[in-house]
Amino acid sequence: MTRCIFGDHLLDEKTKPEHILHDAFGGRKKTRRVVCSGCNNTFGGGIDKVLTTQFEAIRNLFQMKSGSGRTAPMLRKVKAGSQTINVHGDGNLELVAKPFTITKHPEGRFDPTRDRQHARRNATVHS
């Protein structure tokens, strides 16, 4: 009987499949003969998650799909000069506009002013 390489757990038909090369890196092949489901879940929520999160920018830059065919994750609130943009996994860029500006008056009060362009954009999106 096969055992988990990280512990003394038996591997059987109930063992969940593990990606040999992580799905986020384009891996499609899986196995049930190396790691038990418990260890797989532990690593998946820990070191695997950290590693794949660090790889998101590279996946996005090269528009790499995952092994299961999903597009690269969106990179949110990326500074581009004085602007902030979202970079979608398919390469599309989206300007992140501030919904309002704050004006400070000499007497010390503050006034929020709604950005008309942002309001117009939201009105067309939500109608």
Are 64 and 52 in contact by the 8 Å Cβ rule? The answer is: no
Q: Identify whether the C-beta of residue 55 lies closer than 8 Å to the C-beta of residue 31.
A: no
Q: Is 93 contained in some domain?
A: no
Backbone angles phi, psi at 69, to 5 degrees: 95, 0
Q: Is the pLDDT of residue 125 over 70?
A: no
Q: Is residue 36 included in any domain, yes or no?
A: yes
User: Which residue range is the domain that position 14 belongs to?
Assistant: 1-71
Per DSSP, the residues of 8-35 read S-B--TTSPPEESS-GGGT---EESSSS
Strand partners, 90: none
Q: What is the pTM of this model?
A: 0.59
Element (H, E) at 104: strand 100-104
pLDDT in tens, 53-107: 888 999 998 999 999 999 999 999 999 888 899 999 988 999 988 777 788 889 9
Q: How many CB atoms lie within 10 A of CB 59?
A: 21
Number of residues that this document lists for the chain: 127
Q: Is residue 57 part of a domain?
A: yes
Does residue 106 belong to any structural domain of this protein? no
State pLDDT tens for residues 26-55: 999 999 999 999 999 998 889 888 999 888
Does residue 39 form part of some domain? yes
How many domains, the chain? 1
Asked if pLDDT for residue 6 goes beyond 80, the answer is yes
